[in-house]
A and B are shown apart, each in its own frame.
Chain A
Protein backbone atom coordinates (compact mmCIF):
# COMPACT_ATOMS: atom_id res chain seq x y z
CA UNK A 1 0.00 0.00 0.00
CA UNK A 2 0.96 3.61 -0.37
CA UNK A 3 1.52 5.91 2.59
CA UNK A 4 1.89 9.64 2.19
CA UNK A 5 3.91 11.78 4.55
CA UNK A 6 4.28 15.53 4.83
CA UNK A 7 7.19 16.99 6.76
CA UNK A 8 7.02 20.65 7.72
CA UNK A 9 9.13 23.01 9.78
CA UNK A 10 7.85 23.53 13.30
CA UNK A 11 6.19 26.82 14.11
CA UNK A 12 8.73 29.43 15.03
CA UNK A 13 11.58 27.79 13.11
CA UNK A 14 13.05 30.18 10.56
CA UNK A 15 12.23 29.23 6.97
CA UNK A 16 14.30 31.51 4.74
CA UNK A 17 13.27 29.64 1.58
CA UNK A 18 9.59 30.07 2.41
CA UNK A 19 10.26 33.75 3.06
CA UNK A 20 12.00 34.17 -0.31
CA UNK A 21 9.09 32.43 -2.06
CA UNK A 22 6.59 34.65 -0.28
CA UNK A 23 8.46 37.81 -1.30
CA UNK A 24 8.66 36.60 -4.90
CA UNK A 25 4.92 35.88 -4.94
CA UNK A 26 4.28 39.35 -3.54
CA UNK A 27 6.37 40.81 -6.35
CA UNK A 28 4.36 38.80 -8.92
CA UNK A 29 1.12 40.62 -8.02
CA UNK A 30 0.08 38.01 -5.44
CA UNK A 31 0.38 40.72 -2.85
CA UNK A 32 -2.14 39.15 -0.49
CA UNK A 33 0.26 36.27 0.37
CA UNK A 34 1.38 36.92 3.93
CA UNK A 35 3.40 33.77 4.64
CA UNK A 36 4.79 30.70 2.88
CA UNK A 37 6.26 27.71 4.72
CA UNK A 38 8.05 25.17 2.57
CA UNK A 39 7.86 21.47 3.41
CA UNK A 40 8.60 18.00 2.03
CA UNK A 41 6.25 15.34 0.71
CA UNK A 42 6.97 11.58 0.56
CA UNK A 43 5.09 8.85 -1.28
CA UNK A 44 6.05 5.57 0.35
CA UNK A 45 5.15 2.27 -1.28
CA UNK A 46 5.24 -0.34 1.45
CA UNK A 47 4.73 -4.09 1.12
CA UNK A 48 2.21 -4.39 3.92
CA UNK A 49 -1.52 -4.92 3.54
CA UNK A 50 -2.49 -4.02 7.13
CA UNK A 51 -3.00 -0.25 7.14
CA UNK A 52 -2.33 0.17 10.85
CA UNK A 53 0.90 -1.81 10.68
CA UNK A 54 2.06 0.14 7.64
CA UNK A 55 1.32 3.46 9.28
CA UNK A 56 3.05 2.54 12.50
CA UNK A 57 6.14 1.54 10.49
CA UNK A 58 6.03 4.82 8.60
CA UNK A 59 5.71 6.64 11.91
CA UNK A 60 8.96 5.00 12.99
CA UNK A 61 10.57 6.00 9.67
CA UNK A 62 9.50 9.60 10.28
CA UNK A 63 11.03 9.66 13.74
CA UNK A 64 14.25 7.96 12.71
CA UNK A 65 14.96 9.45 9.29
CA UNK A 66 12.33 11.39 7.34
CA UNK A 67 11.96 14.21 9.86
CA UNK A 68 14.42 15.76 12.27
CA UNK A 69 12.27 16.41 15.30
CA UNK A 70 14.49 19.26 16.47
CA UNK A 71 13.00 21.48 13.78
CA UNK A 72 10.39 19.45 11.90
CA UNK A 73 6.92 17.95 12.42
CA UNK A 74 5.51 15.14 10.32
CA UNK A 75 2.02 14.22 9.30
CA UNK A 76 1.02 10.80 7.93
CA UNK A 77 -1.87 11.29 5.52
Chain B
Protein backbone atom coordinates (compact mmCIF):
# COMPACT_ATOMS: atom_id res chain seq x y z
CA UNK B 1 0.00 0.00 0.00
CA UNK B 2 1.31 3.41 -0.93
CA UNK B 3 0.88 6.50 1.18
CA UNK B 4 1.92 10.11 0.71
CA UNK B 5 2.61 12.57 3.50
CA UNK B 6 2.46 16.20 2.40
CA UNK B 7 5.03 18.57 3.87
CA UNK B 8 4.09 22.22 4.24
CA UNK B 9 6.45 24.90 5.53
CA UNK B 10 5.94 24.55 9.28
CA UNK B 11 4.74 20.93 9.32
CA UNK B 12 6.42 19.18 12.23
CA UNK B 13 4.72 15.80 12.55
CA UNK B 14 5.51 14.72 9.01
CA UNK B 15 8.47 12.52 9.95
CA UNK B 16 6.65 10.93 12.90
CA UNK B 17 3.87 10.06 10.48
CA UNK B 18 6.40 8.68 7.99
CA UNK B 19 7.90 6.44 10.70
CA UNK B 20 4.45 5.26 11.80
CA UNK B 21 3.21 4.49 8.29
CA UNK B 22 6.38 2.56 7.41
CA UNK B 23 6.31 0.65 10.70
CA UNK B 24 2.91 -0.75 9.83
CA UNK B 25 3.74 -1.65 6.25
CA UNK B 26 2.97 1.39 4.12
CA UNK B 27 5.34 2.29 1.34
CA UNK B 28 5.40 5.97 2.21
CA UNK B 29 6.62 8.92 0.18
CA UNK B 30 7.05 12.51 1.25
CA UNK B 31 5.48 15.11 -1.04
CA UNK B 32 6.36 18.81 -1.08
CA UNK B 33 3.48 21.31 -0.90
CA UNK B 34 4.64 23.10 -4.02
CA UNK B 35 4.55 20.00 -6.22
CA UNK B 36 1.82 19.91 -8.82
CA UNK B 37 0.92 16.24 -8.59
CA UNK B 38 0.72 13.59 -5.91
CA UNK B 39 2.40 10.30 -6.88
CA UNK B 40 0.10 7.29 -7.03
CA UNK B 41 -1.20 6.69 -3.51
CA UNK B 42 -3.78 4.69 -1.59
CA UNK B 43 -3.72 7.17 1.27
CA UNK B 44 -2.79 10.85 1.57
CA UNK B 45 -1.89 12.25 4.97
CA UNK B 46 -1.83 15.92 5.93
CA UNK B 47 0.37 15.95 9.04
CA UNK B 48 0.32 18.06 12.17
CA UNK B 49 2.36 21.18 12.75
CA UNK B 50 2.04 24.89 12.20
CA UNK B 51 1.84 25.27 8.44
CA UNK B 52 2.73 28.81 7.39
CA UNK B 53 3.10 29.76 11.02
CA UNK B 54 -0.67 29.52 11.52
CA UNK B 55 -0.94 32.89 9.74
CA UNK B 56 -4.42 34.28 9.07
CA UNK B 57 -6.21 31.18 10.42
CA UNK B 58 -4.69 27.77 11.14
CA UNK B 59 -4.51 25.81 7.90
CA UNK B 60 -5.92 28.60 5.73
CA UNK B 61 -2.76 29.28 3.70
CA UNK B 62 -1.87 25.59 3.33
CA UNK B 63 -5.44 25.08 2.15
CA UNK B 64 -4.62 27.18 -0.92
CA UNK B 65 -1.20 25.69 -1.68
CA UNK B 66 -0.33 24.22 -5.07
CA UNK B 67 -0.61 20.54 -4.09
CA UNK B 68 -4.07 20.96 -2.58
CA UNK B 69 -5.88 20.79 -5.89
CA UNK B 70 -4.68 17.22 -6.41
CA UNK B 71 -5.57 16.36 -2.79
CA UNK B 72 -9.11 17.63 -3.43
CA UNK B 73 -9.36 15.70 -6.71
CA UNK B 74 -8.06 12.55 -5.01
CA UNK B 75 -10.55 12.98 -2.13
CA UNK B 76 -13.45 13.66 -4.47
CA UNK B 77 -12.67 10.49 -6.41
CA UNK B 78 -13.04 8.48 -3.19
CA UNK B 79 -9.36 8.33 -2.14
CA UNK B 80 -8.52 8.14 1.56
CA UNK B 81 -7.34 11.46 2.99
CA UNK B 82 -6.33 11.68 6.64
CA UNK B 83 -5.63 15.00 8.35
CA UNK B 84 -4.12 15.02 11.83
CA UNK B 85 -4.21 18.17 13.98
CA UNK B 86 -3.04 20.94 11.62
CA UNK B 87 -3.99 18.54 8.83
CA UNK B 88 -7.55 18.53 10.21
CA UNK B 89 -7.51 22.33 10.24
CA UNK B 90 -6.34 22.34 6.61
CA UNK B 91 -9.14 19.95 5.61
CA UNK B 92 -11.78 22.25 7.10
CA UNK B 93 -10.21 25.27 5.40
CA UNK B 94 -10.32 23.55 2.00
CA UNK B 95 -13.99 22.75 2.56
CA UNK B 96 -13.39 18.99 2.34
CA UNK B 97 -14.67 18.74 5.92
CA UNK B 98 -17.36 20.95 7.45
CA UNK B 99 -16.84 23.39 10.33
CA UNK B 100 -13.70 24.96 11.72
CA UNK B 101 -11.21 24.52 14.57
CA UNK B 102 -11.25 27.60 16.77
CA UNK B 103 -8.94 28.60 19.58
CA UNK B 104 -9.28 26.44 22.68
CA UNK B 105 -11.99 27.70 25.00
CA UNK B 106 -9.65 28.62 27.87
CA UNK B 107 -6.94 30.07 25.58
CA UNK B 108 -4.37 27.49 26.64
CA UNK B 109 -2.16 25.28 24.50
CA UNK B 110 -3.07 21.73 25.49
CA UNK B 111 -0.43 19.01 25.35
CA UNK B 112 -1.47 15.76 27.03
CA UNK B 113 -2.83 12.27 26.58
CA UNK B 114 -6.59 12.04 26.23
CA UNK B 115 -9.14 9.30 25.71
CA UNK B 116 -11.32 9.31 22.65
CA UNK B 117 -14.40 7.27 21.94
CA UNK B 118 -14.83 5.74 18.50
CA UNK B 119 -18.32 6.78 17.35
CA UNK B 120 -18.46 5.11 13.96
CA UNK B 121 -16.74 1.91 12.80
CA UNK B 122 -18.47 1.66 9.43
CA UNK B 123 -15.40 3.02 7.66
CA UNK B 124 -11.85 2.07 6.73
CA UNK B 125 -10.28 4.10 9.54
CA UNK B 126 -11.77 2.27 12.52
CA UNK B 127 -13.45 -0.83 11.07
CA UNK B 128 -11.41 -3.58 12.72
CA UNK B 129 -10.35 -1.81 15.90
CA UNK B 130 -11.75 -3.92 18.74
CA UNK B 131 -11.50 -1.25 21.43
CA UNK B 132 -14.18 1.40 21.84
CA UNK B 133 -11.94 3.90 23.63
CA UNK B 134 -8.39 4.83 22.58
CA UNK B 135 -5.75 6.72 24.50
CA UNK B 136 -4.08 9.20 22.16
CA UNK B 137 -2.05 12.39 22.44
CA UNK B 138 -3.23 15.91 21.69
CA UNK B 139 -1.08 19.03 21.31
CA UNK B 140 -2.90 22.07 20.01
CA UNK B 141 -4.02 25.62 20.58
CA UNK B 142 -6.87 25.53 18.07
CA UNK B 143 -8.83 22.33 18.53
CA UNK B 144 -12.16 23.74 19.57
CA UNK B 145 -14.43 22.30 16.88
CA UNK B 146 -17.26 24.55 15.80
CA UNK B 147 -19.92 24.56 13.09
CA UNK B 148 -23.37 26.02 12.57
CA UNK B 149 -26.45 24.31 14.06
CA UNK B 150 -27.62 23.22 10.60
CA UNK B 151 -24.19 21.81 9.82
CA UNK B 152 -24.12 19.95 13.13
CA UNK B 153 -27.51 18.40 12.40
CA UNK B 154 -26.28 17.27 9.00
CA UNK B 155 -23.06 15.87 10.54
CA UNK B 156 -25.06 13.92 13.11
CA UNK B 157 -27.68 12.74 10.61
CA UNK B 158 -24.92 11.38 8.37
CA UNK B 159 -22.96 9.74 11.21
CA UNK B 160 -19.95 11.90 10.45
CA UNK B 161 -18.66 12.16 14.02
CA UNK B 162 -15.58 9.92 14.12
CA UNK B 163 -14.20 10.33 17.65
CA UNK B 164 -15.16 12.33 20.75
CA UNK B 165 -13.16 13.28 23.84
CA UNK B 166 -14.11 11.10 26.80
CA UNK B 167 -12.77 9.50 29.97
CA UNK B 168 -11.23 6.01 30.11
CA UNK B 169 -14.72 4.52 30.36
CA UNK B 170 -15.99 6.31 27.28
CA UNK B 171 -18.09 9.03 28.95
CA UNK B 172 -17.97 11.78 26.37
CA UNK B 173 -19.59 14.49 28.47
CA UNK B 174 -18.68 18.15 29.01
CA UNK B 175 -16.47 17.21 31.97
CA UNK B 176 -14.15 15.38 29.59
CA UNK B 177 -14.00 18.12 27.00
CA UNK B 178 -10.47 19.57 26.98
CA UNK B 179 -10.92 22.44 24.52
CA UNK B 180 -14.58 23.41 24.29
CA UNK B 181 -15.25 21.46 21.09
CA UNK B 182 -18.89 21.17 20.08
CA UNK B 183 -20.29 17.81 21.25
CA UNK B 184 -16.76 16.86 22.39
CA UNK B 185 -15.86 16.33 18.74
CA UNK B 186 -12.22 15.28 18.31
CA UNK B 187 -12.56 14.07 14.73
CA UNK B 188 -15.05 13.98 11.87
CA UNK B 189 -15.54 12.36 8.48
CA UNK B 190 -16.95 13.69 5.26
CA UNK B 191 -20.28 12.18 4.20
CA UNK B 192 -18.63 9.33 2.28
CA UNK B 193 -16.24 8.55 5.18
CA UNK B 194 -13.15 8.52 2.97
CA UNK B 195 -11.85 11.74 4.53
CA UNK B 196 -11.02 11.85 8.24
CA UNK B 197 -9.77 14.83 10.20
CA UNK B 198 -8.88 14.52 13.86
CA UNK B 199 -6.99 16.48 16.47
CA UNK B 200 -5.40 13.51 18.34
CA UNK B 201 -2.09 12.14 17.04
CA UNK B 202 -2.13 8.35 16.55
CA UNK B 203 1.45 8.53 15.22
CA UNK B 204 2.65 9.52 18.69
CA UNK B 205 1.36 6.31 20.28
CA UNK B 206 3.01 3.54 18.32
CA UNK B 207 5.69 2.38 20.72
CA UNK B 208 5.75 1.41 24.41
CA UNK B 209 8.42 4.10 24.91
CA UNK B 210 5.91 6.71 23.76
CA UNK B 211 3.49 6.31 26.69
CA UNK B 212 1.07 4.11 24.84
CA UNK B 213 0.37 1.98 21.82
CA UNK B 214 -3.25 2.70 20.93
CA UNK B 215 -2.00 4.53 17.85
CA UNK B 216 -0.68 1.16 16.64
CA UNK B 217 -4.25 -0.15 16.59
CA UNK B 218 -5.19 2.72 14.30
CA UNK B 219 -2.40 2.04 11.78
CA UNK B 220 -2.77 -1.76 11.95
CA UNK B 221 -6.44 -1.39 11.07
CA UNK B 222 -5.68 1.10 8.30
CA UNK B 223 -3.22 -1.13 6.46
CA UNK B 224 -5.56 -4.12 6.83
CA UNK B 225 -8.61 -2.21 5.65
CA UNK B 226 -7.04 -0.82 2.50
Please tell me if A13 contacts chain B, counting CB pairs below 8 Å.
Answer: yes
In Å, the complex CA distance between A14 and B98 comes to 18
Q: Which of B99, B103, B104, B180 contacts A70 (CB 8 A)?
A: B99
Question: B18 — which chain A residues lie within 8 A by C-beta?
Answer: none
Inter-chain contact B100/A68, CB cutoff 8 Å: yes
How far, in whole Å, are A17 and B104 apart by their CA atoms in the complex?
10
Give the interface SS of chain A, mostly helix, strand, loop or mixed.
Answer: helix
Q: Tally inter-chain residue pairs, CB-CB below 8 A.
A: 35
A14–B107 CA distance with the chains assembled, in angstroms: 12
The reply to whether the CB of B148 lies closer than 8 angstroms to some CB of chain A is: yes
Smallest CB separation, B174 vs chain A (Å): 14
Contact between B146 and A16, CB atoms less than 8 A apart: no
- Rounded to whole angstroms, the CA-CA distance of A70 and B147 in the bound complex is 7
Q: Which residues of A contact B (CB under 8 A)?
A: 13-14, 16-17, 20, 64-66, 68, 70-71
Q: Chain B residues in contact with chain A, CB under 8 A?
A: 56-57, 60, 64, 92-93, 98-100, 102-107, 144, 146-148, 151, 180
Could you give 17 example pairs across A and B, Cβ below 8 Å?
A: A13-B146, A16-B103, A16-B105, A17-B103, A17-B107, A20-B107, A64-B64, A65-B60, A65-B64, A66-B56, A68-B57, A68-B60, A68-B100, A70-B92, A70-B146, A70-B151, A71-B100
